[in-house]
A and B are shown apart, each in its own frame.
Chain A
Amino acid sequence: MPDTTLLLLADGRFPAGGHAHSGGLEAAVTAGRVRDLDGLAGFLRGRLATAGLVSAAFAAAACRGDDLGRLEAELDARTPSPALRKASRAQGRALLRTGRALWTLSTVERELHHPVALGVVAAAAGLTPAEAALTAAYGTVTGPASAAVRLLGLDPYATHALVARLAADCDSVAARATTMDDLPACSAPLLDIGAEAHATWEVRLFAS
């Protein structure tokens, strides 16, 4: 198993633009729904159980070689928010660009939803669907967690302790994502609604 390659792809320093997105946390903070570490914990748990599971399942399916057009259409159907569709494709585009500079991708597509792009890049890097799922699940937690330090001025140690406490949940979400018969569609209404509000702001710290 290429362990170092997994770490490389999951690393927040992987140059695919992930740091520009807060995973909906900026909208939640501005709406007053997340104010402190407890609020962040609830946000991360809910995001992992919904968007995290969906992303992990789609990343695993794309890594396994499922039809990309079908995955794109199914993920569109699970993403009612146009702002989230746009953010997902922007992140997917950045990831494909980076992936192409490192490995040989199986597709010539320039723009895919982020979880689908992640599966494609993971496969090109020699990773398994389970590893693609784990990378996706982990990313749904670490993105907003690092944004929280900037948005709320939270203690980075406490924030990382929270991520560490979610490690087992992340593992189990990734494991479920790899073994499900059907692609999941777990909804998070406030992520959709928040993303639409966020897209209307003129000044913001994060792209989504």
Chain B
Amino acid sequence: MKATARITAVAEAGRTRLVTLRSEPPLLVRRTGHRGPAAGPLARGSAAGAGEVEVHLVGGAAGPLGGDRLRVEVTVGPGARLCVRTVAASLALPGPRRAERAGTHSTLDVHATVAAGGSLRWLPEPLIAARGCDHVSSSLVDLESDASLTWREEVVCGRHGEDPGDASLHSTVRLAGRTLMRQELAVGPRAAGWAGAAVLGGGRATGTLLVVDPQWTEKPPEAAVLGPGAALMPLAGGPAALASAVGGDLREVRAALDRAFTQATLA
């Protein structure tokens, strides 16, 4: 399946308005919430900004399956505040013609741009790399200076008691045109040493949470160790910190990332 979803949010008279909400099966986008101006413990950043609008990506079919080409385009205008979630984990599965490997991998490309004073929170449920899958997720986020971002990525290596297929997650975040963060995590049989002690050390789940906050320009959060498999790390290239966690299951990883978020934002 080939599908593109598109979400465009703009600020208008103190509110965030969705001017584009394009769904294409299996990528269905639903508006699910609206907060008042900068309310709630996680609605951070400029108190003067518009209220945040929340949308969910609803999986209209199983997958991604080998061969799928999925794309999500998110645009957040000046001063607008958007939160994107998914209703459930994505389960990467092998395609129907597994014997013909060439070209049967699945891809999910996410391209997000956030204008000055805008805020995007990208908080999807994890990717589960099922046995035999061959999946590549690529995210490219372009932030204008003074934009805020909270960006979470999690991957679970196989369903219960299952060895994972091949999955890789590539993420690039640029701030004012300069690379702020770039990561490529690969798990599965083709990724040498992925289960070894340098990469996941036998952990079945891993995740990162990137927070970019213009208020940290003067003083970014300090580095912190958050247990045996998690750390919060201020980045070199801007007002940003990355929390990274490895654990036995998603619950452990999510708890560590949540803890890191609290630590970073309360500092």
What is A's interface to B at a CB cutoff of 8 Å? 24, 28, 31, 33-34, 39, 41-51, 73-74, 76-83, 85, 169, 184-193, 196-197, 199-200
Q: B192 to A197, Cβ gap below 8 A?
A: no
* Known contacts A47-B198, A74-B182, A192-B233, A83 near B246 by CB under 8 Å: no
Beyond known contacts A190-B198, A193-B246: 6 more, CB 8 A cutoff: A43-B196, A74-B179, A81-B233, A190-B229, A192-B233, A192-B244
Q: B233 to A196, Cβ gap below 8 A?
A: yes
Q: A76 to B236, Cβ gap below 8 A?
A: yes
The smallest C-beta distance from B67 to any residue of chain A, in angstroms, reads: 25
Contacts of B179-205 to chain A: CB distance below 8 A: 179-186, 191-203
Task: Name the residue in A82, A85, A169 with the highest tally of chain B Cβ atoms < 10 Å from its Cβ.
Answer: A82
Task: Name the residue in B195, B201, B225, B228 with the highest tally of chain A Cβ atoms < 10 Å from its Cβ.
Answer: B201
Q: B191 to A49, Cβ gap below 8 A?
A: yes
Residue of A nearest to B194 (CB): A46
Q: A73 to B198, Cβ gap below 8 A?
A: no
A-B contacts, 17 of them at CB < 8 A, read A45-B193, A46-B196, A46-B198, A47-B196, A49-B186, A51-B198, A74-B182, A77-B179, A78-B182, A78-B183, A82-B236, A187-B185, A189-B200, A190-B201, A190-B203, A190-B229, A190-B246
Q: B244 to A77, Cβ gap below 8 A?
A: no
Q: A193 to B181, Cβ gap below 8 A?
A: no
- Interface status of B231 (Cβ within 8 A of chain A): yes
Q: B193 to A44, Cβ gap below 8 A?
A: yes
- Interface status of B234 (Cβ within 8 A of chain A): yes
In the complex, what residues of B have CB within 8 A of residue A82's CB?
223, 233-234, 236
The smallest C-beta distance from A177 to any residue of chain B, in angstroms, reads: 14
* Known contacts A47-B193, A186-B184, A191 near B233 by CB under 8 Å: no
CA of A68 to CA of B246 in the docked complex: distance in angstroms?
A: 33
* Known contacts A77-B236, A79-B236, A43 near B244 by CB under 8 Å: no
Residue of B nearest to A191 (CB): B198
- Interface status of B242 (Cβ within 8 A of chain A): yes
* Known contacts A77-B181, A79-B236, A80-B233, A189 near B197 by CB under 8 Å: no
Contacts of B83-127 to chain A: CB distance below 8 A: none
CA of A49 to CA of B195 in the docked complex: distance in angstroms?
A: 12
Q: B197 to A185, Cβ gap below 8 A?
A: no
Interface of A is mostly: helix
Q: B183 to A190, Cβ gap below 8 A?
A: no
Q: B225 to A196, Cβ gap below 8 A?
A: yes
Q: B228 to A48, Cβ gap below 8 A?
A: no
The smallest C-beta distance from A85 to any residue of chain B, in angstroms, reads: 6
CA of A48 to CA of B193 in the docked complex: distance in angstroms?
A: 8
The smallest C-beta distance from A163 to any residue of chain B, in angstroms, reads: 14
CA of A7 to CA of B26 in the docked complex: distance in angstroms?
A: 56
CA of A44 to CA of B192 in the docked complex: distance in angstroms?
A: 10
Among A33, A51, A76, A190, the residue within 8 A (CB) of B237 is A76
Q: B201 to A186, Cβ gap below 8 A?
A: no
- Interface status of B139 (Cβ within 8 A of chain A): no
Q: B235 to A80, Cβ gap below 8 A?
A: yes
In the complex, what residues of A have CB within 8 A of residue B159's CB?
none
Q: B231 to A77, Cβ gap below 8 A?
A: no
Among A73, A76, A79, A197, the residue within 8 A (CB) of B225 is A197
CA of A53 to CA of B192 in the docked complex: distance in angstroms?
A: 11
* Known contacts A193-B230, A196-B233, A46 near B192 by CB under 8 Å: yes
In the complex, what residues of A have CB within 8 A of residue B228's CB?
31, 197
The smallest C-beta distance from B6 to any residue of chain A, in angstroms, reads: 26
- Interface status of B31 (Cβ within 8 A of chain A): no
In the complex, what residues of B have CB within 8 A of residue A49's CB?
186, 191-194
